[in-house]
Structure 1
Amino acid sequence: MTMTTEQAARFADVFDRLTTNVERTLHGKSHVIRLALTALFSEGHLLLEDAPGTGKTSLARALADSVRGTSSRIQFTPDLLPGDITGVSVYDQNSGAFTFHPGPIFANVVLADEINRASPKTQSALLEVMEEGRVTVDGRGHPVGEPFMVVATQNPIEQAGTYRLPEAQLDRFLIKTSIGYPDHATTLRILEGATHKAHGDPLPPVITAEGVTLLAAEARTVHVDATINDYVSRLVQATRDASETRLGASVRAALALIRTAKTYAASDGRHYVVPDDVKSLAGPVLAHRLVLDPEAEFDGVTSLGVISQVLLDVPPPGDVSAA
């Protein structure tokens, strides 16, 4: 069943209200907020990579506040153990059995702060839960519930004592983006409110956790024309053929681009995907999944640069509308 025009309008209304609510905390960054919400309604995870003090943690907190569900924060450090995230089984002397004690990963929105400061062993503890939405301890699976989203942050400036995320884990993040510094006018607005606490009162919720799950299911029904699928297939193939890449975008990356394009279309009040949806999301969805050739990287080539060139080289389809 394809999303109707009325459902698309309702989806866009909720999406806009969520964007406005989060922007009360993160001023002047509506595009980044919309990317974060796209990840949420596409049932994926978000990686924020930026310099200190740009509002990465504030965005994650505001996103959690806007959804009337559970949230948690995990501060990643070199001595953090996998069990500190997933939970552990503790022996109960009264019952003579082991009882599972859930970790902070059991929440609707999980802020994984400075994820690259934890050891690779601890980082890998997130792989199963991010992909399958469950934790396996002592051979037993424990679902984390729905909706479930990890918002991870990392600081690319300070590399001492950090561990680079492996490609397998980067691939689990649906979208990777950065916030960047605000412009002059926005900075003035922030400074005018400098008398308030850095983290003031929580934002009022706009939607329930159950509402997020329902809207995410509706987003999956957005119509995708065969020419759009062909366009996405040609884009990912071009990333593999590019001389600057050692490893291009996978089939999982192509599926992620289609999933997010559906949500992006619905957020604009449309029940069908157009090429501009794919173009807007190609960088945030594909760039972090590419592995560049070392010589190209040494010459200053970036993954985003490769995606930009691919978008120029691969022609989009013509007019696309609902079936």
Structure 2
Amino acid sequence: MALKDPNEARERLAKLRAQVGEFIFGLHRVTADAIMGLVTPMVKDTPTSKEYTQAHLIISDEPGTGKTALLNYLSSGIEAKLGRIDGRPDLMPSDFTGREERDKYTGIRTLLTGPLHSHIIFADEINRTPPKSQSVMLGPMEGGRIMMNITNEKEGRIESVGFPLFPVPGDPKGRNFFQVIATMNPIEYEGTYPLSEAQMERFTYRLTMGFPAREEEKMILAENVIGKKVEVVMSLSELLDIQEMVARIKLSKEAVELRQRYLENSRPFSHDKRIFGKLRPRRYATDKLIGFINEYAVSGCSPRRNFHMEAAAKAHAFMRGEDRIATVDDVKAIAHITMEHVIRLDPRSFGDHIDAKDVVEMIIRETKPL
């Protein structure tokens, strides 16, 4: 049965959040943001048009902060086929996509599908996987197909065949669902590989866990979690219904303008020279912000980040109870978690103890008001 009432939808999401709170103590903000990621309607490319798809999210923080547990409990609350990838240096692309095997006695070929052939892909410690293997996720994450090498016996050769993303069984509208939720350790940790800019661009959100308050951390005891169980709160069809509700929300003119100012102000002058061959005026940034970005940023947000920020602002508006219009406050609220991971910093920023969070904070503070 279709889910049509926005208030009922928010009640379901609140129940999912409460379930996670039975295991993850004190980290209310990141839990709310992760649930927001589940209902965010992102835009994908098809051969002839653009359509809605799912947003992808990644959590980056130190080991032991609960990244894996949070995403595990969230995904378990959704009735879906789950695929899990545990990042290791020896993973091959076929460990993601699957492979074709031939029985040496009968000659029969069998197609073994990998974890990418699922609705929700949980990629744990994704940056412990070599770049060659990470790259097979780029196409599916952009809304395309899963590519596999299959034997064409008639032609006597191996062909690259594209498999469509995973359909939702029994969905009355015949919709698909494909979402990557991933964790990663800080790049300075041993045994990690940097994710490419192209792959980071495909994540709408990057979240950080942080630490709970002292009294809440004291609640981390076995007696407080043993015996509890996560229940399925909603089906994928219902989750897609919620995404359609979110997609119907519009950004106000002021929200669109503020989003554009943030994106423009994230780009250094070196970007202008490379792309346009000349400097473009920064009418909506203070001199302090212009100098800061030119000193510490190598590149800013791409035009595609417009879609990510629009989708995130709509989802934030929905989560706070709005069904029609997303405002400038929604854009401000999602700026950090949608911009930080796609801004590339100059090496001198490390020496000056400047990180992407500082850059986005400066953009928010020093962008000229509407």
Please tell me whether residue 162 in structure 1 is matched to residue 192 in structure 2: yes
What is residue 256 of structure 1 aligned with on the other side?
Answer: 308
Please tell me whether residue 45 in structure 1 is matched to residue 56 in structure 2: yes
Unaligned runs of 5+ in 2: 41-53, 150-159, 167-175, 269-292
Greater length-normalized contact order (CA 8 Å, ≥ 6 residues apart): 1
Deviations 1:161-183 (A, max 9, x none): 22111111111111111112221
TM-score, normalised by the number of residues in structure 1: 0.89
TM-score, normalised by the number of residues in structure 2: 0.78
Q: 1:299 to 1:88 in 2, by over 3 A?
A: same
Distance 1:303 1:101 in 2: 41
Secondary structure at the aligned position of 2:186 is classed as coil
Deviations 1:119-141 (A, max 9, x none): 11011111112112530113222
- Is the 8 Å Cα contact of residues 167 and 289 (structure 1) preserved in structure 2? yes
Deviations 1:181-222 (A, max 9, x none): 2211111222263673xxx66400111111111111221110
Shift of 1:48: 1.0
Please tell me whether residue 9 in structure 1 is matched to residue 3 in structure 2: no
Unaligned runs of 5+ in 1: 1-5, 318-323
Q: Which has the larger radius of gyration?
A: 2
Distance 2:57 2:308 in 1: 12
Of the three residues 69, 75, 94, the one matched with 1:64 is: 75
Q: 1:59 to 1:306 in 2, by over 3 A?
A: same
Secondary structure at the aligned position of 1:160 is classed as coil
Amino acid corresponding to residue 24 of structure 2 in structure 1: L
What is residue 84 of structure 1 aligned with on the other side?
Answer: 95
Of the three residues 166, 178, 182, the one matched with 2:212 is: 182
Write out aligned runs for 1:101-250 (5 A): 101-132=112-143, 134-138=145-149, 139-145=160-166, 146-156=176-186, 159-191=189-221, 193=223, 196=226, 202-241=229-268, 242-243=293-294, 244-250=296-302
Moved more, 229-238 or 84-93: 84-93
Distance 1:122 1:214 in 2: 33
Number of equivalences: 309
Shift of 1:233: 0.6
Shift of 1:226: 2.0
Distance 1:154 1:25 in 2: 20
Percent identity of paired positions between Structure 1 and Structure 2 = 30
Shift of 1:98: 4.4
Of the three residues 24, 27, 33, the one matched with 2:25 is: 27
Amino acid corresponding to residue 136 of structure 1 in structure 2: M
Shift of 1:309: 0.8
Please tell me whether residue 289 in structure 1 is matched to residue 342 in structure 2: yes
Distance 2:144 2:297 in 1: 31
Shift of 1:249: 0.7
Deviations 1:16-48 (A, max 9, x none): 222212222212222111211122111211111
Deviations 1:105-131 (A, max 9, x none): 222222111111111101111111211
Distance 2:225 2:146 in 1: 43
- Is the 8 Å Cα contact of residues 260 and 281 (structure 1) preserved in structure 2? yes
Q: 1:194 to 1:12 in 2, by over 3 A?
A: closer
Shift of 1:13: 2.4
Shift of 1:254: 1.9
Secondary structure at the aligned position of 2:304 is classed as helix
Q: 1:7 to 1:273 in 2, by over 3 A?
A: farther
Distance 1:133 1:189 in 2: 44
What is residue 3 of structure 1 aligned with on the other side?
Answer: none
Distance 2:123 2:233 in 1: 23
- Is the 8 Å Cα contact of residues 97 and 114 (structure 2) preserved in structure 1? yes
